[in-house]
Structure 1
Amino acid sequence: MTDSSKLQIAIIGAGIAGLGAAIALKHHPAIDVQVYEKASELREIGASIALGPNGMRTLDRLGVQNALDDEVAFRNKSRYPMIYRHWKTNEIVSTDSHAGEVEYRHLTSRFYRAHLQEALAKHIDPSKIHLSKSFQSVAFDAATKKLIITFTDGTTATADIILGADGIHSPVRTFFVPTSSTAWTGWVAFRSVFPISHVAHIKDLPDEANHFWGPDRTFFVSKLGRDLFTVVGSYQADPNAPDAPYKDSTWNSDGNVDTIREFYKDWSPLVRQIVDAVPHTRVYPNSAAHPLETWVLGNGKVTLAGDAAHAHGGAFAAGGSLALDDAWAFASSILHVFPVDAKKKPTEAEIQKALRIYERTRKPHTDRVMRVVHENNLKKIAQYSEGKKLESDEQLRARIKNRADPSWIHEHDVQAAFAQAVAAEAAGRGASNEQARL
């Protein structure tokens, strides 16, 4: 039950961003946070997920210590965020490194998504999470100055602020910006998570997260927490081809292990052994959208987080960390205009100020991420297009070694960005006048 005497914040979506934001705001005595989730049970759809040092630091900042535990977070013992191997020889061609000093608990980690969501959910009062609530629309009540949320089951809820954290195909985003729907990039991932016992017999099984690169696809393997193992195969097609395989596939649909065995039949014996041991796989078509002009929507009282805000398709394995930094920045922006010791609720102008600060903190960074993602997607389509001659082994090795350094994404300092956004707002620099209206 919502409390209208408090600042009412409705979070649409109980994924990483939504739960993170709810955790960050839960200690304010005059803020009432309610989370609305379309699923009938609180469970993460997906396979493995990586968090870089920025995401791990934000988990720590939020007090989600249980997610930092080695039981659920797998870290490479070498401390390398990623190890890159040759598809045919298995040799290590290159590695990523952390750019700055990173404590052990903040090292790049891999999780089974369900474990991470479970760890986050333990920090929220279950009565604050409402299941089977699929977003339909929002209206503004001029008399009460409240947002009225309608769900597909006909029920409604009121809020002073809405945070749309409802995923890459976000109904909240497309309600306010109908042109912001996603499009398939042509890339498809085949993800599998299973007990490590299925592959424990394989000699030289990598005991760290490894990314094998081949001329026309990649292959990722890693241990996960609680004795699990993950395998991710891939396929790239031209998304504009009318007969492109997987053009009509859906997220988290059943896959065929024989398909990935065919994909990797010419790879190294080690890769083939791993693929042969995979008990099942699921299909995840990659989608992306272009950056929004503004994140401040709905009379300045609605904003977005996670994939809903920056639908970049999970490139760089950065989606989880971006979502957590969004959650922290959103909550910090609210708390900036409405601190714990505030005597009265924030005005509409103060709410709009908070959402502007949030946008200033996050959007420049995520826009840059999305620009790079779109450029890379176009390069992949050109590289793997039908009939195009595949690169030589020398060219492949050069591509691995000369890949872009992703540390600017994985070690982004959201606290410094927030401080800069607060200062810019105070100075009145570049305030947006392009707020979308209901």
Structure 2
Amino acid sequence: MVESDKLRILVVGAGVAGLAVAIALKKHEGVDVQIYERATQLQEIGASIALGPNGMRTLEKLGVLEALDDEVAFRKSSGYPIIYRHWKTNEVVSVDKHHGEIEYRHRTSRFYRAHLQQALLAHVDTAHIHLGKAFASVCEAMNTDDLTISFDDGSTVSADILLGADGIRSAVRRSFVPHSAPKWTGWGAFRSVFDAKLVEHIDGVLDEACHWWGPDRTFFASRLGKDLFTIVDASWNSEGNLQILKDYYKDWHPAIRQMIDASPYTKLYPNTFASSLDTWIHGNGRVTFAGDAAHAHGGAFAAGGSLALDDAYAFALAITHFCPSGSSKPSKSTITGALRL
């Protein structure tokens, strides 16, 4: 098919959702997906990320099978997604359970975010990823049906569909819904990712994903893939400092204090969320969102990664339904119908 006859989809953001869209549509001969990312390089940043059974199934549908491997994804030995423990006594208070029969490879898994991104990147032609491109604006071109997307460096690109997959601070979302800037929940999360060998002397911590609940703060710890370990400590109005972290948890169970002592560093991330949108369809029916750009829950449900994958896959299914391989480029009204599906 001639390039000019293809449906041009411009994705802002090379995160989980953006990469998944490119993978889901890469075999569609009538679609051209290009990703524009504000970062100048894709590097190992971020902390841990969990995927539930829905996210793991979507990875499998996308063909990203290496992400289902035990080397990359950590699954708990008990099969429970999370075990909840008392902050002082360490006794098990309750457990999360999968609903129904879940195949092993689809069980809730925990990753180092960079490893999941690398697995997705391996399935995307890097020629379709454009770095150092910060979204500035979008408008309808004069005398054509094109969308014109502008970037901070002054460059412009034409497309038929714009998908904002640029996270909780989505510039695409703000351009249509200016009041949708993320809001602070009042909580902060200390996050650390380090070599699991540093905590292997602490009994039982490498076997499960555990969440300790206290009167006004929590503590989460889990192994990740590739022999990494993470601790996530949520406190009200916190500062990112190891000594402060140690002081916050000085009265907690010894296992927790040992994990904090083993951590070589900590970083503070403010816990934010974005209010729900009245609609995900903008730009005269040709602009939409995926992942945290569409629905940022603030990390409360550990569902953001799975939802980003599901959004991407659903978007690809809608495009394929309205624009099957071998068909001509869809009209503006057909595109709107696909995005509303």
The two structures share one fold, judged by TM-score above 0.5 = yes
SS at match of 1:340: coil
Give the Cα separation in 1 of the matches to 2:130 and 2:3: 15
Question: Is 1:332 matched with 2:317?
Answer: yes
Q: Helix, strand or coil for the counterpart of 2:147?
A: strand
Counterpart of 2:152?
A: 152
Deviation at 1:15, TM superposition (A): 0.3
Tell me the CA shift for residue 285 of structure 1.
Answer: 0.3
| Alignment RMSD | 1.3
- Does structure 2 conserve the Cα–Cα contact (< 8 Å) formed by 1:296 and 1:303? yes
Instruction: Provide Cα deviations, 1:86-131, integer angstroms capped at 9, x if missing partner.
Output: 1111111111111121100000000000000000000000100000
Q: Which residue of 1 aligns with 2:336?
A: 352
State the shift of 1:281 in Å: 0.8
Deviation of 1:322 after TM superposition, in Å, equals 0.7
The SS at the match of 1:316 is coil
Contact kept? 1:43, 1:117, Cα under 8 Å = no
Amino acid aligned to 1:322: L
SS of equivalent residue, structure 2 residue 110 = strand
Within 5 Å, give how 1:214-253 maps onto structure 2: 214-237=214-237
**Match of residue 96 from structure 2:** 96
For 1:333, the aligned partner's letter is A
Deviation at 1:6, TM superposition (A): 1.0
Cα deviation 1:52-111 (Å, max 9, x = unaligned): 001001111111101111111000111111111111111111111111211000000000
Q: Does 1:263 align with 2:252?
A: no
Q: Could you tell me how far apart the structure 2 residues matched to 1:328 and 1:301 are?
A: 18
Aligned residue runs from structure 1 range 178-193, under 5 A? 178-193=178-193
SS in 1 for 2:335: helix
CA distance in 2, matches of 1:104, 1:260: 35
Contact 1:15 1:44 in 2 (8 A): no
Q: Does structure 1 retain, via aligned residues, the 8 Å contact 2:200–2:206? A: no
Task: Report how far residue 206 of structure 1 moved.
Answer: 4.3
SS in 2 for 1:139: strand
Q: Secondary structure at the match of 1:292?
A: coil
**Higher share of residues assigned strand:** 2
Q: What is the CA–CA distance in structure 2 between the aligned matches of 1:81 and 1:160, rounded to whole Å? A: 41
- Does 1:318 find its partner at 2:300? no
- Aligned partner of 1:294: which letter? T
Matches within 5 A, 1:354-393: 354-357=338-341
Q: For 1:26, give the aligned amino acid.
A: K
Q: TM-score, normalised by structure 2?
A: 0.97
Tell me the residue number matched to 1:376.
none
CA distance in 2, matches of 1:7, 1:216: 51
Determine helix, strand or coil for the equivalent of 1:133.
coil
2:198 and 2:81 mapped to 1: Cα distance?
A: 25
Q: Does 1:276 align with 2:261?
A: yes
Gaps of 5+ in 2: none
Aligned counterparts of 1:299 and 1:276: Cα–Cα separation in 2? 54
The whole-number CA distance in structure 1 between the counterparts of 2:204 and 2:273 is 36
Equivalents in 1 of 2:4, 2:132: separation in Å?
23
Task: Give every structure 1 segment of 4 or more consecutive aligned residues whose post-TM-superposition deviation is greater than 2 Å.
Answer: 2-5, 201-206
C-alpha contact 1:36 1:131 (8 A) present in aligned 2: yes
Identity of aligned residues (%): 62
Q: Which has the higher helix share?
A: 1
Q: Which residue does the alignment assign to 1:51?
A: 51
Structure 1 residue 198 and structure 2 residue 182: aligned?
no
CA–CA distance in 1 between the matches of 2:22 and 2:205? Answer: 40
Distance 1:47 1:71 in 2: 17
> What CA distance in whole angstroms lies between the structure 2 residues aligned with 1:329 and 1:91?
41
1:204 deviates by 3.8
Report the Cα offset of residue 225 of structure 1. 0.8
The DSSP-based 3-state class of the residue aligned with 2:4 is: coil
SS of the residue aligned with 2:301?
helix
Aligned length: 340
Hey, what's the Cα distance between the residues in 2 that align with 1:296 and 1:32?
20
Residue aligning to 2:72: 72
